[in-house]
Amino acid sequence: MRTAFKGVIIIFVRTESFSQFKRQYPVTFTLLLLHLVFWILYIIPLDITNSLFYSLIGVNALITQGEYWRLVTAMLLHSSFTHLLFNSFSLFLFGPGVEKILTRSKFLLFYIGCGVTANLATLLFEAPFYSHVGSSGAIFGLFGLYLHLIVYKSPLLTKSEQQIVIALLIIGLVSGFLNSGINNIAHIGGLISGFFFAFLFLPRNRLLMR
């Protein structure tokens, strides 16, 4: 039997209109909009936009020198249209369910927390000259929360939804290691942080066991 959250988790099925999606999932919508805005700034061939972009990317050496904002701003930037499309589509699919469960403010805090933790892992395990952009660390944090629900047998996920999450998680991790230029440290860091942050963020008293 499902809890009061019945109907919240419908992964990969978005039937809302544009206005409904914007109203029901404002944090997810805003993050997607920021992805697009910063991508447009990135492709505009102006010195000021190029300077802005390079002042926001994650560069380990600069972060250790005190430019800590890069731990957050790097999450909004993408290096190619394919990179933008993949991460934005993943957020579009996975974000709404988590936003509905956690509430807006907690979802934003959870998402940023996972992304920052993923970037801190990158800072710890990659070389000082290493630079990175992308929201995949935070998105793998969403995977981590869903994995948490699977491990602890939450009634929020059906069997088929669990299988979809596991399959896509495996594909995401494997493809990361098979392709060059992928920040696998961030993927793993985001996944682990999302799994453990779920202990703090999920409303445990309302997630009944099967």
> Is 80 in the active site?
no
Domain assignment of residue 104, yes or no: yes
Q: List, as one string, the DSSP characters of 125-137.
A: HS-TT-EE--SHH
Pair 194, 140: CB distance under 8 Å: yes
Provide the domain limits for residue 95. Answer: 18-206
Active-site residue (options: 135, 136, 154, 193): 136
Domain assignment of residue 12, yes or no: no
Query: Residues near 33 by Cβ (< 8 Å), separated by ≥ 6?
Result: none
Domain assignment of residue 81, yes or no: yes
Give the number of domains in the chain.
Answer: 1
Mark the ranges of the chain whose per-residue pLDDT is less than 70: 1-12, 204-210
Domain assignment of residue 96, yes or no: yes
Pair 192, 143: CB distance under 8 Å: no
Instruction: Provide the pLDDT for residue 208.
Output: 44
Instruction: Provide the pLDDT for residue 45.
Output: 84
CATH assignment of the domain containing 172: 1.20.1540.10
Q: What distance in Å separates the CA atoms of residue 101 and residue 135, rounded to the nearest whole number? A: 21
> Is 187 in the active site?
yes
Instruction: Provide the pLDDT for residue 8.
Output: 45
Domain assignment of residue 1, yes or no: no
Domain assignment of residue 7, yes or no: no
Domain assignment of residue 97, yes or no: yes
Domain assignment of residue 27, yes or no: yes
